[in-house]
Structure 1
Amino acid sequence: MLALDLGARRIGVAVSDSDGRVATPIVVVERHKDRPRLHRELAELVAEWDAELVVVGLPIDLAGELGPAAQGVLAERDELAAVLGVPVEVHDERMTTRIADRALRERGDLDGRARRKVVDMMAAAVILQDWLDRGAAGEAPLEEEPTP
């Protein structure tokens, strides 16, 4: 599996091991204005890592609502599904960037600028690990819009 944390400036990317047990951050892709080209670049990562499924973090707000950011991710998920050639699912990403940032701060070996460069791929790894853990526990991943 491959996971994407679709940020406004950067896209964090993580991948699972072949057994689908452990998520590993791999790269941060800088967004640019050519969205079709950006999506082709992500498709190249899917092919490079032989991913059979892509999990996209869905930024549901703390109240469980779908705000403008979540609506944007759902729209981009649909665009990605048309390009990537594999199923694309969404997964609740509440707090993942905060969790990733806290973990990086605790390591203490990165300053603020360096941390900002890797936090997105760490967040993608948190999203994917949560998705893997929930799947392993028999819980269905979030596939559509949540119901409050």
Structure 2
Amino acid sequence: MTESAVPGVYPRGVKLGVDVGTVRVGVAVCDREGILATPLRTLDRNVKKNTDVRVLAKLAAELDVVEIFVGLPRTMKGEEHASARMATEYAKLLVSTLLEAGSGIPVRLVDERLSTVTAHRNLHQAGMSSRDHRKVVDQVAAAGILQHAIDMQKARGTDVGSRVSADLPPGPPGDGVQVVPEVHAHSAQRILPKMEGYSEPGQQ
């Protein structure tokens, strides 16, 4: 079941990384040990019906996720503009959707400066044509966001990012999480040969 966060300690288990765009939303997952973030899938953003948010919440439940990191785009000066506000609103909407499903999975915003630029570079180095980048770049960027977050957790020994609160009041008690077999990280070296912040399995 979902492990609650303890002061000075970060949750252990499967986590998701999310890269929010105006057209697509990239999703990545890490193994229970928090060693390797792997691209998972790309969702089409539906601003009117928010079907992508519901799919993401359902996915989190199916994978028994303990934490979700949403990338917060900032400029090189650390400023937040329209894209950052969009990511923040998306994170709030995700929290509300999780609460409506009876899940208290924490959602945290983490700095994602240059994540998409890095994703494009890694795909190019992996030999993928620029024409094919669009199919996977969002989920590769999400993997970069998640990898940075889990690496920082291990380095600091505590949680990272800013916890997001929903604009809606909390729903009824219950975590609404389905326990499923452990998700194993599959090989990402081909797609993420030089992901910034990547740690080889076993390294701290």
Establish whether TM, by shorter chain, passes 0.5: yes
Q: Distance in 2 between matches of 1:127 and 1:35?
A: 26
Q: Distance in 2 between matches of 1:44 and 1:6?
A: 17
Specify the SS of the correspondent of 1:137: helix
Specify the SS of the correspondent of 1:15: strand
RMSD: 1.6
- Contact 2:109–2:161 (CA under 8 A) maintained in structure 1: yes
Aligned pair partner of 1:50 in 64, 71, 74:
64
Q: Say if 2:146 is the partner of 1:132.
A: no
Report Cα offsets for 1:10-42 as digits up to 9, x if no partner: 110000101112101110111124343221111
Q: In structure 2, list runs of 5 or more residues that go unmatched.
A: 1-14, 165-204
Specify the SS of the correspondent of 1:51: coil
Report Cα offsets for 1:58-87 as digits up to 9, x if no partner: 001111011111112112211111112311
Which residue of the partner structure matches residue 22 of structure 1?
Answer: 36
Do the aligned partners of residues 30 and 36 (structure 1) sit closer, same or farther apart at CA in structure 2, a change above 3 Å counting? closer
Q: Distance in 1 between matches of 2:142 and 2:50?
A: 21
| 1:1-148 correspondence runs (5 A) | 1-84=15-98, 85=103, 86-108=105-127, 110-138=128-156, 140-143=159-162
Greater Cα shift, 31-40 or 124-133? 31-40
- Contact 2:106–2:163 (CA under 8 A) maintained in structure 1: no
Specify the SS of the correspondent of 2:160: coil
How many residues are aligned here? Answer: 144
Deviation of the 1:142 alpha carbon: 2.1
TM-score of the two chains, using structure 2 as the length reference? 0.67
The structure whose Rg is larger is 2
Q: In structure 1, list runs of 5 or more residues that go unmatched.
A: none
Q: Distance in 2 between matches of 1:33 and 1:92?
A: 23
Deviation of the 1:113 alpha carbon: 2.3
Do the aligned partners of residues 44 and 144 (structure 1) sit closer, same or farther apart at CA in structure 2, a change above 3 Å counting? closer
Q: Distance in 2 between matches of 1:89 and 1:49?
A: 18
